[in-house]
């Protein structure tokens, strides 16, 4: 099984950005932990601060992976274009968030992606990614 983790804007700053919300571990460090934990899965990773680049990754991934774990970050709440890209591909997508978006500002409670995603996992810190991967692994057995 091949899974793409796709992170949106500012998630390249994990480990230093607002550690009280997002923790103090970089995503690269966490990615190494995920790869060890799910050694039967080929996990690839991409991150971009640019909406169009994220859309390009989603469209390309349809031909290359079995599933996508997407943390579109702020674009979750603003990007109809990313939601349209998720809707347009056949590859299943789980939307993830590190923080509990429902405990935060009102604008974070709206997701354009959730209605076209397989599911949403939020509020479990970086563990949200592992929960999404575990779901895909369980569905594949």
Q: Which residues are catalytic?
A: 22, 97
Structure-derived torsion over alpha carbons of residues 52, 83, 111, 61, reported in degrees to the nearest 10: -70
- H or E stretch covering 122: strand 119-122
- Residue 46 pairs with which residues in a beta bridge? 6
CA 63 to chain centre: 18
Instruction: Indicate the SS3 state at residue 83.
Output: helix
Q: What whole-number distance in Å separates Cα of residue 58 and Cα of residue 12?
A: 18
- The answer to whether 114 and 120 are in contact (CB under 8 A) is yes
Q: Which residues contact 75 (CB under 8 A, 6 or more apart)?
A: 8, 9, 51, 54, 82
């Amino acid at each position: 099984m091949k899974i793409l983790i796709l992170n949106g804007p500012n998630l390249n700053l994990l480990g230093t950005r607002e550690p009280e919300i997002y923790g103090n571990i970089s995503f690269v460090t966490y990615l190494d932990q995920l790869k060890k934990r799910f050694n039967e899965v080929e996990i690839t990773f991409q991150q971009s601060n640019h909406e169009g680049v994220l859309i390009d990754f989603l469209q390309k991934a349809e031909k290359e992976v079995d599933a996508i774990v997407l943390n579109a970050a702020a674009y979750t709440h603003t990007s109809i274009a990313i939601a349209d890209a998720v809707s347009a591909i056949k590859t299943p997508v789980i939307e993830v968030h590190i923080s509990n978006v429902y405990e935060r500002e009102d604008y974070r409670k709206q997701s354009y992606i959730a209605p076209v995603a397989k599911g949403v996992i939020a509020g479990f810190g970086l563990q949200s990614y592992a929960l999404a991967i575990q779901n895909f692994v369980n569905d594949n057995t």
